[in-house]
């Protein structure tokens, strides 16, 4: 029986050694995986840093563009206001000129009618 027990003991020792070796291999693999995870984490952090910088630059550019567009709109509105004022002034001048012409024409027409009426009145008195 001693031989049999000795064989069992050797098998148990072999099994324990194999398990120890397997556990060591697994530990090595876990170590490699943790290194890869660490590297990936560093890459992710670097990517986030770059993206944060890009986002900040994009926001600054958008703000500048908005300010520029706002300034251009104000300039355009100012020019339109000046153009409208100028146009209104010209229209007023034209209307004043037309009214003056109409007044002169009406005055001349009334003057002619008045002299015609005076001639008619003179003829009527002569015929009496």
SS3 1: coil
State the residue for tokens 């008045």.
Answer: 114
- Rounded CA separation 121/39 (Å): 120
Token digits of residue 79: 């020019």
* pLDDT of the residue at 24: 93
Express the helix, strand and coil content of the chain in percent, nearest 5 each: 100, 0, 0
What is the residue-level pLDDT of the chain in tens, covering all 128 positions?
A: 565 677 888 899 999 999 999 999 999 999 999 999 999 999 999 999 999 999 999 999 999 999 888 888 888 888 888 888 888 888 888 888 888 888 888 888 877 888 887 878 777 777 66
* pLDDT of the residue at 127: 67
* pLDDT of the residue at 35: 94
């Amino acid at each position: 029986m001693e031989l049999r027990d000795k064989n069992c003991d050797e098998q148990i020792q072999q099994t324990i050694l194999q398990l120890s070796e397997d556990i060591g291999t697994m530990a090595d693999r876990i170590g490699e995986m943790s290194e890869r995870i660490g590297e990936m984490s560093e890459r992710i952090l670097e990517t986030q840093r770059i993206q944060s910088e890009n986002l900040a630059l994009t926001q600054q550019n958008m703000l500048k563009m908005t300010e520029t567009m706002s300034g251009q709109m104000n300039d355009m509105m100012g020019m339109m206001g000046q153009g409208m004022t100028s146009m209104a002034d010209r229209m007023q001048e034209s209307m004043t000129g037309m009214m003056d012409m109409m007044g002169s024409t009406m005055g001349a027409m009334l003057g002619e009618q008045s002299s015609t009426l005076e001639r008619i009145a003179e003829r009527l008195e002569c015929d009496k």
